[in-house]
Amino acid sequence: MVLSNIVIAALKNVVGEKWFSNDPVILQAYSRTRTGLPIEGFPEAVLLPKSTEEVQDIFRLANRYSFRVIPVGSFYFMTCVPMKPDYVLIDPKRMDKLWIDEKNMYAVVEPYVTFAQLQTEAMKRGLSCYISGAGSQISVLANMVFQGAGLHGYRYGLANRCMLALEWVLPTGELLQIGSITNPKAGYFWGEGPGPDLRGLVKGIWGYAGGLGMCTKVALKLFPWAGPKTLPITGISPEKLCKLPSEQFKFYIVKFPTLQKVIDVIYELGHAEIGGKCTCWASAWYVFLLSLSKEQLFDFDEQRIFKDSLKRTLVFMIEGHKSKKQVAYEEKVFKEIIEEYGGVFLPEEINKWFAERLSAELIRSNLITRLWRVSGMFHPLKLGMDTLDHAVEIHQSTLKMVTKYVAKHSKSIYNDEGEGMWVNPYDLAHEGHAESALAPADVKGQQRAQTIGLQIFMDDLQNKRRSILGILEPVIRIFGPTACNFHKYIYAIKKTFDPNNISNPPYPIDLENEV
Amino acid sequence: MKNIKNEFEKNDIIEKNLKQKLQKIVGNENIIDDPNKIEEILVDYSFFPKRYPQYIVFPQNLHEIQKIIQLANKYNIPIIPRSSEISFYGESLHRQGGIMLNLKRMNKILDINERNRSIRIQAGVNWGMIIDILKEHGLRLNMPLFPHPKKSVLTSYLERYPLVIATYEYSEPLGALEVVMGNGAIFRTGSAVGPGEPDEAPETVAFVDPTGPGSSDFYRIIQGAQGTICAVTWGTIKVEAIPSLQSLYFISSESLEILVDFIYKIQRRMIGYECFVLNNIDLAIILSQHLSQEFKKIMRELAPWNLIFVIGGLKRYPEEKIAYEEEILFELAKQVKLSPQKELPGIINANQEILKIIGEAWKKEPYWKFFLKGACCDIFFLTTMNKVPEFDREVRKKTQQFNYPDDLLGSYMQPIEYGRACHLEYNFFYDSKNNQELQHIQSLYREVSEVIYDLGGFFSRPYGLWKEMIFSRHKIYADTLKKTKLIFDPQNIMHPGHFF
């Protein structure tokens, strides 16, 4: 259905003629995203509101005139693409303000502020922010309300804990404020309450993917940053280097014979409460992150650069937020632990080469888009969440199945030899997260990645592993019945707060298909 | 008339049926309906009108709880879960009667996991039970300030009690939970949700992840709900290694502004573990009970504001860690002309005593808040530390209008997460048996709370009168809460009338 003239006039009335477009050329640009499935769909119109009030009015009009709304951030995930006709898309490009309370270490952002912008401003004030694994180029708000696992988790936990007070336009157009902002004089410093913490209503381990209205402002925790006010970047893209002050930052890559050994060490480092960043990468990550072009990626691959030499590595960084003596203390403890666990340091010069290329990656997640190097597609295969030991089990349990499949289809899927794996600790190793992904070489490869993805998802279900991908339509209907029927509550929440089903259906669950 | 008679008869039948069925579920010996015994068991230290249940039942497992909640749904009888043997803020009072689901018998420690530094405990485990057991494993909880030994550990976290260590970023130590929803369904949050039952999970799973399942964080909806959504049966909590060496400092000041400024500085450098401020009244109460010295003498010796700050080292080179953190502490103290001291002038052994009790439940009789006058009215809220001096001035101004004596006003400030925010608490000590004094305190409570709200204090944990104060001013939030509750408790049997 094409939007009626009445609806178009009403929407233009809300955002202004200039900020409404149904030009097919413009809409083409909004027809597919960078991640996930090769879905293509066209919205009826794109709107660029300026304020929360305008967003509220768009949702109210959607309820009155029965069209659907997709709120997006930086247009990254597949759920940004319309699944059916009758959708308008809210692009928040004009909602791009950020405020920082330096003393109390939090920022308030609108939807179009990126992690890179926030971190740049925070660092000028001796602070830094959580940046998710999805990269510094994306919307802070959209990422936080959707997922948010990342390299900063070793110290600061999961991203959803970084969210403080927020304002949320419900699908009905009502404005829900959560946390300390419910008392207008209190400000945005606190996220819980009053009473039950309704942040839990609007965001879980994954978010509602636009299926429950739109967050228009969120406060986020900032953290002490003792490094330089701007990162000392030199060189020209794509080969930029970052040389952090060596008296404050120590970067290490340490090799281990097995994944389990790396994990044992991460536990010990967490128990010793040392380090600022700590993660485990397998060799494919180095191939992706360090190749400067698609050609170079395949050169590395052919010559087996990194593929054999960096199979199971600990990546660790000491951050001197306290003093030089703290850095010396942590370095001493770190080296002692590595020795105890039989880790092998890289030769100093080689370690330095990596440090200059990857230490900034740990701080600002800037190179992550290189995972799309092969064909512009990237397919998250599985994510697991519980203990670090379970993260290992999540990865290894289906590894044979995946490597065999990928080897068989290596023309359409980049053959990472099972090395496209990342294990990340949270809260000083209290929790762990395993993630593996495939890089399809073409659309066929994308479809094949889906096929093997579904197979290993079913294997995880059967073996009761804590794999967490099955939370959106359509797989939520497979996972839900095995997991306390949680999909029924998600259905009830969606139905209660989006009674006319106008907020990005069918996500997270299709109201037209009863549970 | 006939209708009323029928209603009575119907209720009488329900009552008989209900009791029989409850007996069948938990056994005759695990149900109490004697009003005197009920009154004895429901210990609430607040001054709110006492409202009692008709029955107290003591289930011992998940399925008994489920059956009781299903029964309550069938007969439309209110139900309130209670895991602690005491309450302070009227959170367990039965506004509409019904059944108290007393979880005292569910007091098992299900798992102590040293590698993942987590424990899984049933709701009835209290502070008095757990600390020594954890010590045997070299572990400790980041815990509230001197909790009551009969307070449930899990409930303390669910109710969001402030924690004394400000430097762990994970100020939410809760992991996954198992609950029975108000609709009678068993549910598990986070990584406990499944697939499958908890005992079917691979051995590597410790149920430490709280998030989800799916698009909502159910554990967040449950915490802070004060029993209005479900009954929690067990939960996982993060624990920490006990430092092998500790060093405690008192940093005292006449000026709250200077002390706040100093705390901002030390928290920004991310040093130390326990970090909190007590005024001379609260600290004198704590010390006098442990040092057997006269309260008033200690109070007079103390400065008005006292920061208690503990630096610790774990198993590797603890002396070195403590040494560099001490160096930072002294360097920062010098900047604001404060002097960290090992001992308090005129008070012997304070350092040793505080170190001994800081990670413990309160063991002396009476509970420290009841030491001065037998009862205590707490007013607490969240704010940012830079606003604390203004709050303090205005609260004192108001208490002076009430002629409440200054030397009976306790105060506790707890910095949270590197000083990003703080919990500010005022303790008004009073004699609950003196009617006039009680009424006076009730009026004071109401008016001081209004002053705090108007200044921008955030009552994240709305007990007592704060519920009305907050929810009446924020209709959309309150409406969203009501709708959310009904998703999990469609018949509104869980603690009805408490919030709504």
For B141-185, write each residue's pLDDT tens digit. 999 999 999 999 999 999 999 999 988 766 689 999 999 999 999
Distances (CA, A) of B276 to B243, B249, B323: 18, 11, 21
Most A-contacting residue of B160, B165, B215 (CB-CB within 10 A), to test interface: B215
C-beta atoms of B170 and A157 within 8 A: yes
CB atoms within 10 A of CB B473: 13
Of A161, A271, A325, the CB nearest to B172: A161
For B408-445, write each residue's pLDDT tens digit. 999 999 999 999 999 999 999 999 999 999 999 999 99
Contacting A residues, span 432-491, partner chain B, CB-CB under 8 Å: 460-466, 468, 471-472, 476, 479-480, 482-487, 489-490
pLDDT for B445? 98
pLDDT for B3? 67
Query: Cα separation of B48 and B477, whole Å?
Result: 25
pLDDT for B1? 52
| DSSP letters for A200-248 | HHHBSSSB-TTBTBEEEEEEEEEEE--S-SS--EEEETTEEEE---TTT
C-beta atoms of A430 and B170 within 8 A: yes
Which of these, B288, B308, B231, B236, lies nearest to B64 by C-alpha position? B231
Q: Does A221 contact B at CB distance below 8 Å?
A: yes
Q: Are A317 and A276 in contact (CB under 8 A)?
A: yes
pLDDT for B403? 96
* pLDDT of B278 above 90: yes
C-beta atoms of B115 and A174 within 8 A: no
- Note the pTM of the prediction, 2 decimals: 0.97
Lowest mean per-residue pLDDT among B14-18, B390-394, B402-406, B480-484: B14-18
pLDDT for A1? 56
* pLDDT of B490 above 70: yes
Query: Cα separation of A121 and B48, whole Å?
Result: 49
Backbone angles phi, psi at A113, to 5 degrees: -75, 130
Distances (CA, A) of B254 to A27, B2, B232, B259, B337: 65, 72, 44, 9, 12
**B462 vs A161, higher pLDDT:** B462
C-beta atoms of A160 and B217 within 8 A: yes
pLDDT for A420? 87
Both tokens of residue A73?
């951030």
For A182-200, write each residue's pLDDT tens digit. 999 999 999 999 999 999 9
Spacing of C-alpha A503 from chain mean position: 22
User: What are the structural domains, with CATH classification, of chain A?
Assistant: 5-90 (3.30.43.10), 98-224 (3.30.465.10), 237-462 (3.40.462.10), 470-515 (no CATH)
Q: Are A438 and A166 in contact (CB under 8 A)?
A: no
C-beta atoms of B204 and A387 within 8 A: yes
Which of these, A371, A377, A357, lies nearest to A440 by C-alpha position? A377
Task: List chain B residues with CB under 8 Å of A497.
Answer: 480, 483
Query: Cα separation of A99 and A218, whole Å?
Result: 10
Q: Does A380 contact B at CB distance below 8 Å?
A: no
Enumerate residue ranges in chain A where pLDDT < 50: none
Query: Cα separation of A94 and A15, whole Å?
Result: 11
Task: List chain A residues with CB under 8 Å of B325.
Answer: 322, 326
Q: Which helix (H) or strand (E) holds B272?
A: none
User: What are the structural domains, with CATH classification, of chain B?
Assistant: 2-102 (3.30.43.10), 109-241 (3.30.465.10), 243-356 (3.30.70.3450), 372-461 (3.30.70.2750)
Instruction: Indicate the DSSP class of residue A4.
Output: P
Q: Which helix (H) or strand (E) holds A158?
A: none
Spacing of C-alpha B61 from chain mean position: 24
Q: What distance in Å separates residue B458's CA from the closest CA in chain A? A: 6
C-beta atoms of A471 and B212 within 8 A: yes
Which of these, A450, A369, A469, A441, lies nearest to A402 by C-alpha position? A450
Which of these, A428, A421, A378, lies nearest to A403 by C-alpha position? A421
| Angle between helices A52-65 and A5-15 in degrees, nearest 10 | 170
Most B-contacting residue of A466, A476, A488, A496 (CB-CB within 10 A), to test interface: A466
* Amino acid identity for residue A234 in this structure: T
Number of Cβ pairs < 8 A linking chain A and chain B: 316
* pLDDT of B228 above 60: yes
pLDDT for A134? 84
Give Cβ neighbours of residue B292 (< 8 Å, ≥ 6 apart).
none
Mean pLDDT of all residues in B52-80: 97
pLDDT for B4? 67
ipTM entry: 0.96
C-beta atoms of A386 and B271 within 8 A: no
**Average pLDDT over chain B, rounded to an integer:** 95
pLDDT for A472? 86
**B291 vs A110, higher pLDDT:** A110
CB atoms within 10 A of CB B366: 11
Both tokens of residue A290?
């360090």
Which of these, B34, B25, B108, B41, lies nearest to B80 by C-alpha position? B41
Give Cβ neighbours of residue A375 (< 8 Å, ≥ 6 apart).
A439, A440, A441, A442, A445
pLDDT for B339? 97
Contacting A residues, span 131-160, partner chain B, CB-CB under 8 Å: 155-158, 160
Which of these, A137, A309, A125, lies nearest to A230 by C-alpha position? A125
pLDDT for A35? 62
Cis check for the bond before A194: say yes or no (omega within 30 of 0).
yes
Residue B35, class by beta-carbon neighbours within 10 Å (0-12 exposed, 13-18 middle, 19+ buried)? Answer: exposed
pLDDT for B2? 53
* pLDDT of B457 above 90: yes
3-state SS, residue B273: coil
Which of these, B498, B496, B482, B483, lies nearest to B73 by C-alpha position? B496
pLDDT for A34? 65
C-beta atoms of A194 and B217 within 8 A: no
Q: Are B289 and B245 in contact (CB under 8 A)?
A: no
Distances (CA, A) of A183 to B74, B283, B463: 39, 31, 16
Both tokens of residue A400?
């044979």
Distances (CA, A) of B152 to A285, B149, B157: 46, 8, 9
CB atoms within 10 A of CB B348: 11
Token match 């757990």: residue?
B130
Taking the alpha carbons of B180, B183, B184, B186 in that order, is the dihedral positive or negative? negative
Instruction: Indicate the DSSP class of residue A466.
Output: -
C-beta atoms of B474 and A174 within 8 A: no
Most A-contacting residue of B115, B216, B472 (CB-CB within 10 A), to test interface: B216
Backbone angles phi, psi at A413, to 5 degrees: -130, 130
Distances (CA, A) of B297 to A121, A341, B408: 51, 56, 14
Q: Are B255 and B336 in contact (CB under 8 A)?
A: no
Query: Cα separation of B90 and B45, whole Å?
Result: 8
Both tokens of residue A104?
């109390």
Q: What distance in Å separates residue B405's CA from the closest CA in chain A? A: 29
Lowest mean per-residue pLDDT among A157-161, B339-343, B371-375: A157-161
Query: Cα separation of B115 and A293, whole Å?
Result: 42
Q: Does A339 contact B at CB distance below 8 Å?
A: no
Both tokens of residue A352?
């330095």
